[in-house]
Structure 1
């Protein structure tokens, strides 16, 4: 097995000790993560479930980071978010409530809570960040996360895994942001990583600090992966053991892939080729060397967001220190903002006098939060402004409506901030005193350069059976159950096609500036694709209600409002070549039908405006006089026919997943060829 398969196997409630791609499993989870914005959606689902209580009050990590900011906290909508979080703290008697602007959701969780071998789910697409320490951390939608918050359980179809094998040593000053940008340049997003887990292994791991690994894991979602996980090693072990509280370091389980682990693909990345890169707006994989765009005029420089670690913030300060030693002074034009990922990081930067450097270079220092990276609170770039940012996404309107944001490392942003022109930081990086750099970073991350060898021991999941006859897939339901009202499932859908292209992202489906006002499907539908497809809603209401998209539909953030927006427009079904992992889970959870269509000829005849019908019983689509078959998994079918997670929970209660998860065949049982169903699952 791979690392991720071993973690799934350890958490599998059927206790088989072995899983393989295609298995549907019911698993227990170790932690639930939520921000103040995603908790608002989770609380709505929680209330629909009947307020049944949560599975553990010490394993729910809730942080205010997306919208809250002292400058806007008096606004009624922001007050409602704060009140919701405070209500959760009181109702659940939470021990892991982090309050407002103490930490960006993922920062202190990775630094002080996540442990190797754990299974973590969060209502945020960058939950994958904690894969840096060898835990399986997966982002889901808010409704999807509400169920494990209550029951301590969720379900997965075990995904395929790819292995990115890292070799070579990066140049001094080259951190995780440039590494992941290089990987995006080489492999491209939503290609070989799409709907797969990415495992990072190889001899170069010894050169990568935990913070470097965090940045790479964080942006694995931009690569299109379900999550990114590093093979834990001595660096990981030393990093975990520095924690003060025993309960946050004594539940570690160290796994490594078997020598004969089966990966869907293996790619080798040579870190000696990594330099300072920029990802050009609006695609995170349009990556070129900074030198190719050097001199680009800028209106703003932002260092922050969850992907920017303490290590990056220190390096940015040292780059600016070198620039000022050479006589550089910040020009009067432009905006400069730095936002540390947590208060402990901010305190340390102040103690080291590095905040003084930022202030001398003209930077405003903000309190922990998403800031410009989501462009939905006090910090928003203005229309037409061009920014260079160390955040993780550069989608259209991400930093603010009509703004243009390019991605780079904190070092590149720092070097570019003086003249508000893009600058290659290589010379400044080369001038930094490496011994001082190591001293400053090692104290916080225990990178392996100076850490002693640990007593790390790799283990195997209990009860492993390596002789099981292949992955088992579930069969389609022969007799669908009745829904909560005693009705059978919808038998057919009819409408007209409305065509969309590749990589329709959740930022476009549910724009950030309207997000906190989306209380229901109708509210969300009012803003669906308003910036990129302004006629979409009107056409959907006119009967163009079967959306046909391309590749990577629903990529981007975990916001379930993207599905709510489609439902609010009257969309009955989305058919696409592929969906992002979180979006595809969000659809049945909220009662929207999603169909993955692999037959390219379908897209040749499913023109905009063509009449289309979908027969759910026979799994047949009729369009332009031609028919096409499609498949749905048991989990999709079961949850969809009940109208979503909340309605299904009303029928089964805490036994929901037990009731609808397919039973596994006994270990070693081999189906006859005639019994083996087609590969049905798309998750």
Structure 2
């Protein structure tokens, strides 16, 4: 019996010729990552292991991004503990304020993650790196601690769903619309502990930023990971950002999948996820009149340069609605500088938006965009649970950068094709 991409990577990292779905394995890790919130918890568990140093100073990555620049004393103490640990342990890939960014955009940009790796991160959206043909998955702080100490983790080998992508995207349809469509189709537990494996001729229609967005939200369908084939676009991205060695894995022709789902890009429309679950989706024509108070464009899901360009192109020469607070957050310092050089920052500010430093910020109700009771926000983030962005009586509508920018102008959820 053949293996899927994910199974091939896990077999290699476990030192086995083959693995099957449901098998328990111990695998060697290429990257162990944590952020300011989860690392602070992991440090206590790391001490319990008795380890005096991390397993590899190059392979442990710590990024301060969630509550930074520090929003309060508790956040400052968390970051201080991470900072002290990183310096004491000689962690090479430590990203603090000034050179940090949102972790899941930063690691690919810095060439830290590459095809064929096995990556764990104490953040659920670590599955983002599957866009590069790597196995990457989110874990808890305890597993992070053990990973930092030993360089290994145990996994139950996941079965897989094959998503056969065909067709060409319509105007103003992006990776966000693709993944919201999929989650709306299969549900928030539709891929529970399974690998979402993307293939097909339509993959060539998806930019790398599209793929990062889709892989990022695999967890919102309950998946263990999402993964894309390593094609020319992926190799070009890898060679532009990384110098480390990588390995390309391909699914066997006789790989076994639980099911196959066809995604025809030509049929997709801008898609919005209504409160309070990502699978509560509607196409733009089904939305109706939804008046909004705030728009957030950014996050690990949609804070990349393509996302900034899409939003800037729509906002350029226009004004956001008087009652809509519009917050634009680039995902990394490099993207921040590119937005300045390309004139996007001027477009945002002239339109009446604000432009922030890289941070997770409002995505998880951290800071810089908290909602009051009764307020509604269109956001390019990844979750719209009750109270996710502030008060439990607020509402978050997930959308693409195009829909978010159009909605900022209209003062309500709007079709970017009509702005």
Q: TM-score, normalised by structure 2?
A: 0.96
In 2, Cα distance between the equivalents of 1:331 and 1:260? 54
Q: Does the alignment pair 1:333 with 2:323?
A: yes
The answer to whether the Cα contact below 8 Å between 1:69 and 1:378 also exists between their aligned partners in 2 is no
Of 386, 393, 396, the residue aligned with 1:405 is 396
Higher relative contact order (CA 8 A, sep 6+): 2
Q: Pick the structure with greater CA Rg.
A: 1
Per-residue CA shift, 1:9-35, capped at 9, x if unaligned? 1101xx232111122111100001110
In 1, Cα distance between the equivalents of 2:75 and 2:278? 30
Q: How far is the alpha carbon of 1:51 from its aligned partner?
A: 4.3
Per-residue CA shift, 1:285-328, capped at 9, x if unaligned? 1111123224311111111111002211111111112xx3xxx4
Alignment of 1:125-274 (within 5 A): 125-191=124-190, 193-243=191-241, 248-274=242-268
Q: How far is the alpha carbon of 1:330 from its aligned partner?
A: 2.6
Q: How far is the alpha carbon of 1:209 from its aligned partner?
A: 1.0
Q: Secondary structure at the match of 2:286?
A: helix
Per-residue CA shift, 1:193-243, capped at 9, x if unaligned? 111111111111111111100000000000111110101111111111112
Q: How far is the alpha carbon of 1:377 from its aligned partner?
A: 3.0
Of 96, 102, 105, the residue aligned with 2:103 is 105
In 1, Cα distance between the equivalents of 2:341 and 2:223? 37
In 2, Cα distance between the equivalents of 1:79 and 1:157? 36
Per-residue CA shift, 1:361-419, capped at 9, x if unaligned? 11111111111110023431112111111100000000002221111101101011123
Q: Specify the alignment match of 1:88 in structure 2.
A: 85
Q: How far is the alpha carbon of 1:76 from its aligned partner?
A: 2.2
Q: Secondary structure at the match of 1:106?
A: helix
Q: Does the alignment pair 1:367 with 2:364?
A: no
In 2, Cα distance between the equivalents of 1:331 and 1:274? 28
Q: Secondary structure at the match of 2:77?
A: helix
Number of aligned pairs?
413
Q: How far is the alpha carbon of 1:274 from its aligned partner?
A: 1.3
Query: What is the Cα-based RMSD across aligned positions, in Å?
Result: 1.3
Q: Secondary structure at the match of 2:146?
A: helix
Structure 2: give runs of 5+ residues left out of the alignment.
none
Q: How far is the alpha carbon of 1:427 from its aligned partner?
A: 3.4
Q: How far is the alpha carbon of 1:185 from its aligned partner?
A: 2.0
Distance 1:378 1:51, change over 3 A: farther
Q: Does the alignment pair 1:426 with 2:399?
A: no
Structure 1: give runs of 5+ residues left out of the alignment.
429-683
Q: Specify the alignment match of 2:278 in structure 1.
A: 284
Q: Specify the alignment match of 1:34 in structure 2.
A: 34
In 2, Cα distance between the equivalents of 1:249 and 1:60? 18
Of 290, 298, 301, the residue aligned with 2:295 is 301
In 2, Cα distance between the equivalents of 1:387 and 1:42? 33
The answer to whether the Cα contact below 8 Å between 1:39 and 1:142 also exists between their aligned partners in 2 is yes
Q: Does the alignment pair 1:53 with 2:53?
A: yes
In 2, Cα distance between the equivalents of 1:117 and 1:29? 11
The answer to whether the Cα contact below 8 Å between 1:320 and 1:357 also exists between their aligned partners in 2 is yes
The answer to whether the Cα contact below 8 Å between 1:294 and 1:424 also exists between their aligned partners in 2 is no
Q: Secondary structure at the match of 2:230?
A: coil
The answer to whether the Cα contact below 8 Å between 2:129 and 2:136 also exists between their aligned partners in 1 is yes
Q: TM-score, normalised by structure 1?
A: 0.59
Alignment of 1:537-616 (within 5 A): none
Q: Following TM superposition, where does structure 1 have runs of at least 4 consecutive aligned residues deviating by more than 4 angstroms?
A: none
The answer to whether the Cα contact below 8 Å between 1:415 and 1:423 also exists between their aligned partners in 2 is yes
Q: How far is the alpha carbon of 1:52 from its aligned partner?
A: 2.9
Of 305, 312, 315, the residue aligned with 1:317 is 312
Q: How far is the alpha carbon of 1:95 from its aligned partner?
A: 1.1
Per-residue CA shift, 1:397-446, capped at 9, x if unaligned? 00002221111101101011123211110234xxxxxxxxxxxxxxxxxx
The answer to whether the Cα contact below 8 Å between 1:30 and 1:119 also exists between their aligned partners in 2 is yes
In 1, Cα distance between the equivalents of 2:13 and 2:54? 19
The answer to whether the Cα contact below 8 Å between 2:135 and 2:227 also exists between their aligned partners in 1 is yes
